[in-house]
Each structure stands twice: as structure tokens, then as C-alpha cells.
Amino acid sequence: MARALFYNIPTHGHVNPTLPLVRELTEQGDEVTYFAGPEFADKIRSAGATYGDYGESHSFEQTRTEAHSVLQAGQLAEATAALLPGVLEEVEAARPDYLLFDMSAPWASIAAQRLGIPAVASFPHLPFNWRAFFDDGRIMKKGLHGLRPGMGYYRELSKQLGRLAKEHGLRRPSEVNLLSSSADLNLVFSSRYFQPNADSLDDSYQFIGPVINTDRPDQQWPITREPGQKLIYVAVGTLYRADLDFFRHAMDAFSDDEYSVVMSVGKAVDPAALGPVPANFDVAQFVPQLAILDQADVFVTHGGMNSISEAVMAGVPMVAVPNTIEQAMNSVRVEQLRGGVALPPELVTAATLRQAAESVLADAGVPDGLAKIRQSFVEAGGAPRGADAIQDFKRSRSID
């Protein structure tokens, strides 16, 4: 029986895909202690793992108003500085056979390097490569926007990296990859078909497809629509607070009887702040996404990988309005593979939203595009394939 410690960040998009994988590992006899926020404790225990608490050393920011990559890196640098001493102490005391960590948990990556522990990284969204950055002007524009919050932020980030390197014996600050920490084995919750420029990634990247828990009998949502109405589902995630104007544009775009609309605004937005809501709209801070996608005709999404995967598996075409560079990369890939269209947020108006939705509904090639993506996801193997990859990895490291 092998012992593992798993370090993640406490967000649903990063934790949820890993839980079926953890269940596979524990059923095969591995002992896993999983660190995340207390809101995930019950789910972690249900997967057969022991819940690990980060304690009070750092409070993770759950809602962000800015999508700047440098600011995100700064937040992770702060988290790393706060968490790393305790993580190093814990890993050294436990001496696990291997570490698992999310690609956004650099404290675990550093611990693996420092203590010589074999490591596996999980990628809930696509690994970034520079070729993809230059593939499409929309990706490049989003990336450049995320890199220009001002020189003061760069200087502060450079200081943070320098302090981490000095305090923890790293040869250089570049050893701290704050936004995409990789390992000896990297499990990507997507398919090689969906990954742009997949040939640029070596064999340490194993694509296992999305892992979606569809057994959610408690997640129901009453949907009322007239015969012939198309159901539009609008949800742009909970991690970043969407501009109220975006939701108002959506209300203006789909306020006639041709559509029935379910719109999820996220926990950071008060639905009352939207003003008068059209009669054909059902607005809430949260809705059970899979239940809505089962009936939706179009999904207006931020382009997060989990949302894209759930839409693909449900066969729902997308209008993707990305907040971040990784969402821009996802959204452009959806468009390239004929699963929907990518709409840059700066171009969003009521007219462009409606035009985009009508275009995916009218495109006869979209159902086939979605079917091909779905097939690639299914064939990737899911959690059992991920567990097999870890078992192969363990054998290569002589881990029992």
C-alpha cells in the first residue's frame, strides 16, 4: 500500500475533477490525505481519502474581480509563502511514497523538489504552450491584457519570487512556477484531440479526459418553456465576478418569446442589482448546471474547461466569452473544432450575443463537431485511465 499526500486549491473547478481519480486510487489500496478547503472535507472523505486541513496560515481568495495573470501569480506567491513552511514540515514528517498536487499549488511542487518525493500533477485545464499563444489573435490579445497591470506589480512579484528562492534554497526564482506547476507525471483532464499543439508536450503529459460526476439525483431545476422555444443557459463561472453589463446585455439579447433563458450570475452578484428581469428569464446565483445542460440548446459560458467538458458531454453548443488567457485558449479551440463560437468580452453587446447564439444554432456542422470532441473525451479513459497511469508511474519508481 502506497501513501500519498494531495495538495490542491479550494475551488470546485480544481477539486471536483480529481475526486473520482482519488476514489480509484483508494479502492486500489493507496492511502491518500487530501488538502483543500473545509468546504470539500465531506467530498474528500466520500472519495475514500483523509481530509487534510491547511489551517489558518492562508485565506484563499474565492472571488476575483481582475483576470490579470500577474496579479494571479502574486496571489499564489503569497499563498506559497504562507503555506510552504507547514507543507515542508508535514511532507518531511509523513515521508509519503509520492505527492499529488494541482498545477496551481506551487508549494507542493517545491516540496517535491526539495525533499526528492516523486510527484504527479493534475491539470484541470489545458497546459499552456507558447505556440497556442500565437495561434489566434484573440488568445494573444487576452494574454497581453493579462500581463499589463503595471510595473509595480511586476516588481512586487519579482521580490516575492526572490524571497521564496532565497528562503527555501532554490537555485533561482524561475524554479517557482506559480501558474502551471508540472511534475514527473502530469494528468490532463482533457483529450489530446482538444489540446492545441499537443505535439509540443512530451510523454509526461497523459490526457485522461474530463471526469464528470453525473450522479447528482438531488440536482433538479424546474424549467418552463413554451413549445418551440429554445433554451439558452447563461453562466460565466463563480471565480471571477462578471460585469453587470454582461448580464444586462444577455437580458436584452434574449428577452423575446423565441427563447427561454436560465441565467446563473454567481455568488458575488446580487440578482436584484440587475434591475427588471424579462418574463422569459429565470435568474439565480446558482443553478445545477448538469440539470440545465440536459435540456439546453445553447450555453453562453466563460469557457472554463469544466464547463466546456460538461457542455460537450451533453451535446450543447457554446458561445464562449472568456475572462482569462486559458479560457481564451479553450474558447478558440471550441470554435476551431466546431463546437461553438468564441466571443471576446470587449465585443459583447445584446446584438453580438444574439448573433452568436443564432449562428451556432444554424450551423449544421456543430453537432458533428461536438460529437468528435465527445468521442475524444470518452476514449481518453477518465479516472480509471488516470489511476492506471499513476500505478505505472509508481512501478517505474519502485513504489509498492
Regarding whether 162 and 272 lie in a shared domain, the answer is no
> Residues for the chain: how many in total?
400
> What's the pLDDT score for residue 220?
73
pTM for the predicted model, two decimal places = 0.88
Regarding whether 90 and 21 lie in a shared domain, the answer is yes
> What's the pLDDT score for residue 19?
95
Does residue 215 lie in a domain region? no
Regarding whether 386 and 352 lie in a shared domain, the answer is no
> What's the pLDDT score for residue 63?
41
Name the burial class of residue 390, with classes exposed (0-12), middle (13-18) and buried (19+) by CB atoms within 10 angstroms of its CB: buried
Regarding whether 309 and 177 lie in a shared domain, the answer is no
How many domains in the chain? 2
Sign of CA dihedral 270, 274, 275, 277: negative
- Residue 370 makes CB contacts below 8 A (sequence gap 6+) with 312, 315, 316, 317, 338, 339
Q: What is the Cα–Cα distance from 8 to 255, expressed in whole angstroms? A: 41
- The CATH number that applies at residue 265 is 3.40.50.2000
Regarding whether 303 and 330 lie in a shared domain, the answer is yes
Does residue 214 lie in a domain region? no
Q: What is the Cα–Cα distance from 35 to 13, expressed in whole angstroms? A: 15
Does residue 218 lie in a domain region? no
Each residue's pLDDT expressed in tens, for the chain with a length of 400 residues: 899 999 999 888 899 999 999 999 999 999 999 999 899 999 999 999 999 988 765 556 544 445 566 667 777 778 888 888 899 999 999 999 999 999 989 899 989 988 999 999 999 988 876 666 666 666 655 555 555 655 556 677 777 777 777 777 766 555 566 667 889 999 999 999 999 988 889 999 999 999 886 655 556 778 888 888 999 999 986 555 567 899 999 999 999 999 999 999 988 788 899 999 999 999 999 899 999 999 999 999 999 999 999 999 999 999 999 888 788 889 999 999 999 999 998 899 999 999 999 999 999 999 999 999 999 999 999 999 999 999 999 999 999 7
> What's the pLDDT score for residue 62?
45
Regarding whether 269 and 144 lie in a shared domain, the answer is no
Regarding whether 194 and 55 lie in a shared domain, the answer is yes
Does residue 344 lie in a domain region? yes
Does residue 235 lie in a domain region? yes
Does residue 216 lie in a domain region? no
- Which helix (H) or strand (E) segment holds residue 263: the answer is strand 259-264
Regarding whether 259 and 202 lie in a shared domain, the answer is no
- Residue 261 makes CB contacts below 8 A (sequence gap 6+) with 231, 232, 233, 234, 250, 251, 254, 278, 280, 281, 282
Regarding whether 32 and 120 lie in a shared domain, the answer is yes
Q: SS3 of 188, please?
A: strand
Residue 6, beta-bridge partner list? 34, 100
Q: What is the Cα–Cα distance from 68 to 49, expressed in whole angstroms? A: 34
- Residue 256 makes CB contacts below 8 A (sequence gap 6+) with 280
Regarding whether 288 and 304 lie in a shared domain, the answer is yes
Does residue 363 lie in a domain region? yes
Q: SS3 of 109, please?
A: helix
Q: What is the Cα–Cα distance from 169 to 374, expressed in whole angstroms? A: 45
Regarding whether 157 and 16 lie in a shared domain, the answer is yes
Backbone phi and psi for residue 63, each to the nearest 5 degrees, phi listed first = -120, 130
Regarding whether 148 and 63 lie in a shared domain, the answer is yes
Domain limits at 164?
Answer: 3-209+381-396
> What's the pLDDT score for residue 270?
87
Backbone phi and psi for residue 319, each to the nearest 5 degrees, phi listed first = -115, 110
Does residue 220 lie in a domain region? no
